[in-house]
Amino acid sequence: MTAFRVLTLFPDLLSSAFHETAGLLGKAVKNSVISVTPHDLRAYGIGQYNSLDDEPYGGGGGMLMRVEPWSRAIADVRAAVANVHVVMLSPAAQPLTQARVRRLAERDAIALCCPRYEGVDERVLAYCDEVLSLGDFVLSGGEYAALCVIDAVARLRPGFMGKAEAPVDESYAHPGRIEHAQYTRPPSFEGRDVPKVLMSGNHKDIAAFRRASQLARTVERRPDLLQRFPLLREEWALLRAPPE
């Protein structure tokens, strides 16, 4: 089981996502595939009003979360959970990839830090083990990013998926390649037909077709991936003459 601790100003924001009626994530919590424990950052606030933020030195718009509440909250989590891996969620970081998700899934305990406002005092990062981003965009709070991380990691844990092979054939299971096209009934709809090879029953041809589809979709939709994961000679050959 992976135990998640979520440091947040809005613990109630997360609760509905993990209710037992909330699809696979809810079932994962119910079946002890994962556990999710929120930590209310307001309990670590400063002064009479439990303040968590202040104006940034040097000026600028918005408020910045102070270092003291974060350092105390993270210290409490480390004291409560052995070998917990503390992750700050921030758009100013390396993007989350499936390879990073796989590494996170190997851990027994993960703490996800959810900033608000204009972010956190830079000194907070000294108390974290890793900083991760969902991508080159900004959210109104880290809780939304935390939900994505929890879902991505949980999917790789034994017992989460109905079929053991389900995570193997999807996007990024093969590094730098997105998932192949998929079809279901009806076999024909408004002049658009399911490729005949998928209904042939020939598993070798179906596998080759799906591999070619995976490559073609990657070239079309994510050419940026090819800079890091260039097409191999056999992949070029499959693209030029895909099974029909």
96-102, long-range: CB < 8 A, 24+ apart: 96/132, 96/133, 96/134, 96/135, 96/148, 96/149, 96/152, 97/172, 98/152, 98/171, 98/172, 98/173, 98/175, 99/172, 99/175, 100/132, 101/149, 101/152, 101/153, 101/156, 102/156
List, in order of start, the domains of the chain with CATH numbers. 2-154 (3.40.1280.10), 170-240 (1.10.1270.20)
Q: Across all residues in the chain, what is the average pLDDT?
A: 94
pLDDT band for position 166 (50/70/90)?
A: low
The tens digit of pLDDT for each residue in 100-152 reads 999 999 999 999 999 999 999 999 999 999 999 999 999 999 999 999 999 99
Give the pLDDT of residue 167.
56
